[in-house]
Amino acid sequence: MECSYKISVLKLLKARNVKEHSFGETIKYANKLLEKLDYLQKANAHKNFQTFVSDQDSPGVADHFGGPAQRANCENLQKSLAESHAKISKLAEQVIDLKDTLDTKNLLVTKQSTELDKVQVELRSSQELVRSLKLELTCFKNALQSKSDDYTVLNISHSCVENKKNELEIGNKKLRSQLSKYEEEREVFLRTETQRNFLEIENKKLKAQIEMLQGLKEHCLSVESQLNDLEIENKKLKSQITMLKETREHSPRSGSVESLGSADGNKKAVRTAKVEGLLPSSRSSSSQETHAHSKSPIPDKRKITFVAHDSDVNAVMWYPHPAYLITAGSDRRLKLWEVTENDAKLVNSARDCNSSILSIDIDNKASTVLCASSDFSSRLWDVSGFKLGHTLTGHSAKVMSAKFIKESDNIITGSLDKTLKLWGKNKMLCTLTFSSESSVNDVVSRDSSTIISGHADRKIRFWDVRAKKSTSTIDAAGAVTSVDVSKNLLLASEQGGGLKIFDLRTCKELTSMEAASFKIVCCWTRAKFSQDGKYCCCGSDNGSVFIWNCGTGALERELKGHGSSVISCGWSICGSYLATCEADRKCIIWSKLK
C-alpha cells in the first residue's frame, strides 16, 4: 500500500514539472518577441525622425543634389517601415495570443497549485496515517513474534508429547499383555486372600469358642465336684433327719421340710450364679465397642452434594476456616466455595490456566493458593481477590503436584518429565532441580530440608535439599499416586492396590490397608490423613470413599454416594467434615451423624 501511494505522488510531481517547463519556454519566447518589438519600434522611430529632419531641412536642395537616389532610398525605407509595421502587427497579435495562452496557463497553474495544496494536505494526512500504520505494524510484528515464539514452544512441547505418546503406546502394548496376566494372577490371589482372610476369621472365632468351651468345661468340672460334695452332705443330712425322726417323734415335720427346701434352694442359687458368671464379660465388651463406635469422630452422613465444575473435579481442599472450600478441575478453573448448612455457594472463581489443574495447596498464612497444571506450569493466586500472582515455568511435561514446603517460603513441584524443582516463593525462580528415574505423581515435605516423592516406577524417594541428592528409597507394590505426612508417619496410595503406612524414622512398613471393592485407577488419586493422624481416607474407582483406622489397619467406614471414580478428598481442620470430589463434576461434604 505504501509503495503504490509513493508511485502516485511521484507521477503527480513529474506532471507538475512538465507543465512548469512548458510555461518557462513560452515565457522565454514571449520575452524574445517583446525585445524584438522594442528594437524595431526604436529603429522605426529613428528612421521617421531622420526622414522628418531631411524633409524639414532642404527639400529643394535634395532635389538639387541627387533627388532620385534619395527618393529610392526613401521608398526603400518606407517599404521596410511598412514591413516592420506589418511584422510589428503580427508580433503584437502573437504577443496577444501568447498573453491569452499565458493567462490560461496561469489559470491552469493556479488551479493546479490549489490541487497541489490539496494533494499536499492529503499527503500530510496520509503521512500521519502511514506513521500510525507503521506503529500498528510494529505492534503487530511484536505480537506476531510473541505468537510465533509461543507457537514454536507449543510445537516443541507437542513434539515432546508426541514422542512420549509413541513411547507410551509401545509400553502400553507391553503392559496390556502383562496386565492381563497380572489381572488373572491378581484374581487368583484375591480369591486365595479372601479365602485365607475368611479362614483366619473363622479360625479366630473357633479359637475363641474353644477357649470359651474350655473355660466352661473347667467351670463345669468345678461345679460337678461341688455337686458331688453337696450330694454327700445331702446324704449325711438325710441320715441325720432319719435319726432325728426316730429320736424326736413329737417335733413338727414342716420345720424339717422347710429347712430341707432352703438347703436345696441355696444349692440351685449357687449353681445358677456360677454358670451365669461367664456372660457379663462378653456383654460388657460388646457394650464398650458400641460406646466407642458412637464416640468415633468419623464423618458418616452425606450433608451436601453440589456440582462444582464443568468436567472432572481433580482437587479439593479446606480453607483454614471450616466454612470455606477450594476446588479445582479439568475445566481449568479454581473456585472458592462458602459452605452453609444445606448448600455450597460460589464466592470466587479464576481461570488463568491453559489446561487441567491436578493439585492445589495453600500456604501457612492462608493468603496464597498454589496449583499444578497440565500445561507444564504451576501458578500462584492471591486468596483475597483470586488474582493471578506468578507463573512457575520450567517443566517439559505435566506438573502433577505442587506443594508449599513446611517451615519455609519455598515451593516444590513434581512432573511427568522425571524431575522435581525447588522454587523460591519471593524470587519465583527455580533454585534446584532433582532428576529421578521415573515420572513424579505426588510430592510432600517432611520439613524444610526433606522432600518425599511418589513415582510411577513403584518407588518412594527421599530428597535432601541441603545435600542436593536422593538419600533413600522405599519400594511399593504398585505405582505410587499420592504421599501424605502426619508427624512420623508416611501414607502412600498404590495404583491397583491399597494404602500403606510407613515409619519415617525407620522407613519400614507399619500397616497395610485394603478392601475387596477398593481400587485406584487414576494416577493422581490422593489419599489423606485426618487432622489427628488416627484415620486416613481415599476414594475408589467404584465411587466409594474408604476410611481406615491407622493404628489397627481396620476398615472403619465405606461412604457411598458418588456416581463415578473418586479422585481426591480432604479433612476439615476440626475433623468433623470430609470433602470428596469425583470425575463427574460433583463434590460431596460428609459430616458426623448426630
Burial of 163 (0-12, 13-18, 19+ CB in 10 A): exposed
Cβ-contact 457, 480 below 8 angstroms: no
Q: What does the pLDDT average to over 546-573? A: 93
Handedness of CA 515, 518, 520, 524 (dihedral sign): negative
pLDDT above 50 for 16: yes
Predicted confidence band of residue 202 (pLDDT cuts 50, 70, 90): confident
Burial of 285 (0-12, 13-18, 19+ CB in 10 A): exposed
DSSP 8-state class, residue 251: S
* The pLDDT of residue 22: 59
DSSP 8-state class, residue 80: H
pLDDT above 50 for 274: no
pLDDT above 60 for 185: yes
Q: How far apart are CA 152 and CA 319, in angstroms?
A: 39
pLDDT above 80 for 118: yes
Q: What does the pLDDT average to over 20-47? A: 71
* The pLDDT of residue 335: 94
Neighbours of 583 (CB within 10 A): 22
* The pLDDT of residue 412: 95
| More confident of the two residues 274 and 163 | 163
| Amino acid present at 105 | K
pLDDT above 90 for 275: no
* The pLDDT of residue 56: 62
pLDDT above 90 for 459: yes
Q: What does the pLDDT average to over 150-169? A: 88
Q: What does the pLDDT average to over 474-495? A: 93
Q: How far apart are CA 516 and CA 519, in angstroms?
A: 8
Question: For residue 410, what are the contacts with CB-CB under 8 A and spacing of at least 6?
Answer: 404, 422, 423, 424, 425, 431, 448
Q: What does the pLDDT average to over 114-121? A: 87
pLDDT above 90 for 346: yes
Residue among 559, 516, 517, 519 at smallest CA distance from 535: 559
Dihedral angle computed from the Cα positions of residues 419, 424, 425 and 428, in that order, rounded to the nearest 10 degrees: -80
pLDDT above 90 for 401: yes
Residue among 414, 412, 416, 434 at smallest CA distance from 425: 412
pLDDT above 50 for 255: no
pLDDT above 80 for 473: yes
- According to DSSP, the residues that pair with 306 across neighbouring strands are 587
| More confident of the two residues 190 and 412 | 412
Stretch among 94-98, 130-134, 270-274, 335-339 having the lowest mean pLDDT: 270-274
pLDDT above 80 for 446: yes
Question: For residue 483, what are the contacts with CB-CB under 8 A and spacing of at least 6?
Answer: 442, 443, 444, 452, 453, 454, 460, 490, 491, 492
* The pLDDT of residue 534: 92
pLDDT above 50 for 326: yes
pLDDT above 50 for 295: no
Is the overall model pTM greater than 0.75, yes or no?
no
Question: For residue 564, what are the contacts with CB-CB under 8 A and spacing of at least 6?
Answer: 543, 582, 583, 584
* The pLDDT of residue 254: 39
Percent above pLDDT 90 for the chain: 39
| More confident of the two residues 584 and 234 | 584
pLDDT above 70 for 410: yes
Q: What does the pLDDT average to over 567-589? A: 92
- According to DSSP, the residues that pair with 528 across neighbouring strands are 537
Q: How far apart are CA 337 and CA 343, in angstroms?
A: 10
Stretch among 193-202, 412-421, 462-471 having the lowest mean pLDDT: 193-202
Per-residue model confidence as pLDDT tens digits over 363-388:
988 889 999 999 999 999 988 888 88
* Average per-residue pLDDT for the chain: 81
Cβ-contact 325, 339 below 8 angstroms: yes
pLDDT above 50 for 73: yes
pLDDT above 80 for 168: yes
pLDDT above 50 for 61: no
* The pLDDT of residue 71: 75
Q: How far apart are CA 357 and CA 401, in angstroms?
A: 9
| More confident of the two residues 237 and 164 | 164
pLDDT above 50 for 327: yes
* The pLDDT of residue 249: 52
Q: What are 298's three cell numbers?
A: 468419623
- Cα distances from 91 to residues 79, 94, 120, 375, 482, in angstroms, run 18, 5, 40, 93, 113
Dihedral angle computed from the Cα positions of residues 428, 434, 438 and 439, in that order, rounded to the nearest 10 degrees: -10
Q: What does the pLDDT average to over 341-357? A: 89
* The pLDDT of residue 188: 84
Q: Taking the chain, what is the end-to-end CA distance rounded to the nearest angstrom?
A: 79
Residue 323's Cα: distance from chain center in Å?
Answer: 24
* The pLDDT of residue 80: 79
pLDDT above 60 for 125: yes
- Helix (H) or strand (E) segment spanning residue 22: helix 2-57
Q: What does the pLDDT average to over 332-358? A: 90
| Amino acid present at 270 | V
| More confident of the two residues 256 and 434 | 434
pLDDT above 90 for 579: yes
* The pLDDT of residue 117: 86
* The pLDDT of residue 277: 36
Stretch among 2-6, 278-282, 452-456, 515-519 having the lowest mean pLDDT: 278-282
| More confident of the two residues 549 and 205 | 549
Q: How far apart are CA 87 and CA 397, in angstroms?
A: 102
pLDDT above 60 for 283: no
Per-residue model confidence as pLDDT tens digits over 387-400:
888 899 999 999 99
pLDDT above 50 for 246: yes
- Helix (H) or strand (E) segment spanning residue 288: helix 280-294
pLDDT above 50 for 513: yes
Q: What does the pLDDT average to over 520-537? A: 92
Helix (H, G, I), strand (E, B) or coil at 378: strand
| More confident of the two residues 594 and 107 | 107
| More confident of the two residues 95 and 412 | 412
Helix (H, G, I), strand (E, B) or coil at 485: strand
